[in-house]
Amino acid sequence: MPRFAVIGVGANVFNMHAPALRSADIEIVGVCDVNLQAAERQAEHLGCPYFADHRELLAAVHPDAAAILAPHPFHPSIAIDCLAAGAHVLVEKPIAVHVAEADRMIDAARQAGRLLAVNLQHRTRGEVRTARQLIESGRLGQIQRVEMVAIWTRTASYYAQAGWRGTWQGEGGGVLMNQSPHTLDLICHLIGQPSRVVAWNRTLFHAIETEDTSLAMLEWADGALGTLLVSTAQAGEPERLEIGGTRGVLQLSRGGLQLMAADTDLRTFLAESPDPFGKPVLEPQHVTLEPGSGDHAAIYANFLDAIAHGTPLVADGAEGRMSLELANALIYSSMTNTQVTLPLDRAAYRQLLDELRRGALAL
């Protein structure tokens, strides 16, 4: 049974992790939080010692694995310390604030010979697992277009709850860094990381430093094109993803998946149809969803299997880095009014982020 440490038990997200952490397959040997009262309270529930400093925890209990739930600006330093101490690491999303930090975390895991997993639980949703299988099997043909809309409406009272929200220093971005990591990850997970992006980030209504809305155009190396809209300052669907290919169209929403398929590849139809205004017929197809909960328990089960049996992680450090790099690229594109080619220039982005944190630049 792996001996777990939990770092950041005062975070709101702890309640989402708690059911999995209380599993009979996990032994909690220590918890940590800079808020010592929160650490003591959770330690009492879990029956383990508590600490204010994660380095003291590592030295005292020598855990096999660590779950890092602290705010993402602290992920790199904590994760690297845990890996160096010989612990496997499961870190909350986003993996870090900027992609160079994620690089360091991935290198540290490789050097330590330990696992680095990222909590991207939406990958385990049944409709997402099924969509990935359909795409990989070629049911959509060549992917041509990707359209993602995700509305995460938040009020002024939400931002007022914590001074770090919506700040460059506290989050390193707005909707792209806080609400949208899962949205960006679904794009990367299903289609792959885009090769070029152009973004327009705006602060429409909220009194925050960072963006509350991002609209972007995406391009992939194989020629697929896409659009992205995410916002905390609009009303609308929580998530709608449409993927169009030469053999069909896939529509994904929370808990739902629809496939419209053509009996002829679009390339063949366009070349051979005698009708100048002809349109390919798309027929709805029955789709049986793969099992999948989309919850934190699925990530923990996978993490435990990876430790015990070498099972591939749902999202390792390199997979978790993709959505962060995309978020960084969208911020960089909007702030510099340029097209950005990925991989992102790490030094250039770090310089931009430093200027934003100093208040030398503004949206």
pLDDT above 90 for 24: no
Q: Which domains does the chain have, with CATH numbers?
A: 3-122+295-315 (3.40.50.720), 126-292+323-358 (3.30.360.10)
pLDDT tens-digit map of 234-250: 999 899 999 999 999 99
Centre a 10 Å sphere on the Cβ of residue 332 and count the other Cβ atoms it contains. Answer: 20
In this prediction the pTM is: 0.97
Q: What percent of the chain has pLDDT over 90?
A: 96
What's the confidence (pLDDT) of residue 146? 98
Q: Which two tokens stand for residue 176?
A: 């792209």
197: which strand partners?
218, 340
Q: Is the pLDDT of residue 92 over 80?
A: yes
Give 287-300 pLDDT, tens digit per residue: 999 999 899 999 99
Q: Are residues 250 and 140 in contact, defined by beta-carbon separation less than 8 angstroms?
A: yes
- One-letter identity of residue 162: A
Q: In what order do the strands lie in the sheet with 88-91?
A: 50-51, 27-32, 3-7, 65-68, 88-91, 116-118
pLDDT at 327: 98
Tell me which of 58-62, 91-95, 309-313, 357-361 is least confident: 357-361
Please list, in sequence order, all residues whose beta carbon lies within 8 angstroms of the beta carbon of residue 88, skipping any fewer than 6 positions away.
2, 64, 65, 66, 114, 115, 116, 117, 303, 307
3-state secondary structure of 363: coil
State residue 363's pLDDT score. Answer: 80
Residue with tokens 């390193």: 172
Strand partners, 258: 251
> What are the CA-CA distances from residue 131 to residues 241, 256, 294 (Å)?
11, 10, 14
The model's pLDDT over 43-80, given as tens digits with 9 standing for 90+, comes to 999 999 999 999 999 999 999 999 999 999 999 999 99
**Would you say residue 201 has pLDDT above 80?**
yes
> How far is CA 43 from its chain centroid?
29
Burial class (CB in 10 A: 0-12, 13-18, 19+), 134: buried
- Cα separation of 70 and 59, whole Å? 19
pLDDT digit string, tens, across residues 126-179: 999 999 999 999 999 999 999 999 999 999 999 999 999 999 999 999 999 999
Give Rg (Cα) of the chain: 22
C-alpha 33/C-alpha 42 separation (Å) is 10
Cα-based angle 184, 347, 211 (whole degrees, multiple of 5): 40
Q: What is the mean pLDDT of residues 263-283?
A: 96
Using DSSP, state whether 95 is helix, strand or coil.
Answer: coil
Tell me the two tokens of residue 188: 């990367």
